[in-house]
Amino acid sequence: MPDRLFVVLTFGVLLLTDSLSSREPACHQLLARPPIAGESIGIVHGPEIGREVIEEAIALWRSCPNYRADFPALVLGEAAATLFVALEPGNSGSKRCGSFSGRSITLYRWARTSDRSIRSCGSLALNLAHELGHALGLPDAADASGCATRIMADLEAGNLFERAVAAEECRLAGERWRTLAELALPADPGTETAQPDRPAETDRAERALRLERRP
């Protein structure tokens, strides 16, 4: 009987371990703030970036099942909130392959690694999708091996992982925003739809974008 009990307990522990290991790691810590109301974010780019790069980056976020329903659509051209994307042909002078500041996104072809060597920044579309994630209000993913394939993984030269938008990133983008479809539902008391004084710690996305708001 004790041997049988030991086998049952061992099997149960193995099942629990396998279940936990199959879950998506928690790679993001989103600060608790009222959602932002918005319907679309436009993207305008310079001639140095091909239209296909923008479309590929948008497609990565469009793969989210809650795209447009829970967070703004990303569209080519101007919208109520518009981002301007530029490409710097040289190196960034740091380990970063892109930046989001104000209403501007800058991408780089090259960057420096921790050993000061120059490395290619790889796919422009993946790097742009990362910066669009910042525009949607997401922080960088945690510096952990289980997070290296997230689209919000730290943008450094030499990151050879094939990145994609993960389910957690889709969910967090949805938590950050309220679309018109959602605002047509009974009002959520936690939704920010007016223009109150912004707290000093408001994140970059809230400070930078001209957002569509509905009373």
**Greatest pairwise CA separation for the chain in angstroms:** 75
pLDDT in tens, 120-148: 888 999 999 999 999 999 999 988 778 88
Whole-number Cα distances in Å, 5 to 1, 12, 14, 15, 78: 6, 11, 14, 15, 66
pLDDT tens by residue, 68-108:
999 999 999 999 899 999 999 888 888 889 999 989 999 99
Query: Whole-angstrom Cα distance, residue 91 to residue 19?
Result: 43
Strand bridging mode 104-112 / 177-178: unpaired
> What class, spelled out in words, does domain 36-183 have in CATH?
alpha beta
In 3D, which of 131, 136, 74 has the Cα closest to residue 104? Answer: 131
**φ/ψ (deg, to 5) at 99:** -150, 150
Report residue 2's pLDDT band, with 50, 70 and 90 as the boundaries. Answer: low
Name the pTM for this structure: 0.74
Please state, in angstroms and rounded to a whole number, the distance separating the CA atoms of residues 200 and 202.
6
Whether 158 and 2 have beta carbons less than 8 Å apart is answered as no
